[in-house]
Amino acid sequence: IDKQTLEIVETLIPEPGKTAAHVEFARPGDVLVIWRLDRLGRSLAELVRLVADLEGAGVGLESLRERIDTTSPAGRLVFHLFASVAEFERQLILERTHAGLEAARARGRNGGRPGVSPETIAAIQALGADPERSPAEICRALSISRSTFYKYCAGTKAEAK
């Protein structure tokens, strides 16, 4: 496959998950060539469904990076093995992440952004009620973002502007 063909394929399939409309042009006997499997779909279920749809339409799939060609029984086997291993790996990562978060919570560590102190919330509400002050001025004075201002300044200037 030459560089021009690769550019055409990348143009036809610009983003993962948006391939259904782009493969409608394929005819039975064609082979859809992609750079990597993750260019075709974001999840195992999506990949398997799309490959089954292509297979049902008589269209093969060839992945250049993984060297998988689903036009043969061996290629389909390799595709499903790779897809299963990738799904297994994703599940292991998910389990490890959850176990790490639980262990951190057990040690008293909570993830996420730090919350806004009650004093800052009171200051936001007090300054937000003053019609002479703009939201930008209040945000600068309290070192908060505009979204934080509007989150805690409900019912005052937030509705007026």
94-148 pLDDT per residue, tens = 999 999 999 999 998 888 878 889 999 999 999 988 889 999 999 999 999 999 9
pLDDT for the residue 15: 54
34, β-bridge pairs: 63
pLDDT above 70 as % of the chain: 80
Which of 41-50, 92-101, 150-159 is most confident?
Answer: 92-101
pLDDT for the residue 20: 54
pLDDT for the residue 28: 85
pLDDT for the residue 19: 52
CA distance 133 to 153: 13
CA distance 158 to 65: 52
Is the predicted pLDDT of residue 36 greater than 90, yes or no?
A: no
Query: What's the token pair of residue 40?
Result: 């075709």
- Mean pLDDT (the chain, rounded): 80
Q: Is 77 left (phi over 0), alpha (psi -120 to 50) or beta?
A: alpha
Query: What's the token pair of residue 58?
Result: 């008589």
Q: Where are the beta strands (DSSP E) in 3-136?
A: 31-34, 60-63, 68-69
pLDDT for the residue 41: 72
**Residue from 113, 111, 100, 110 nearest 145 by CA:** 113
Is the predicted pLDDT of residue 89 greater than 50, yes or no?
A: yes
> What is the amino acid identity at position 106?
A
Would the pTM of this model clear 0.75, i.e. be above it? no
pLDDT for the residue 119: 93
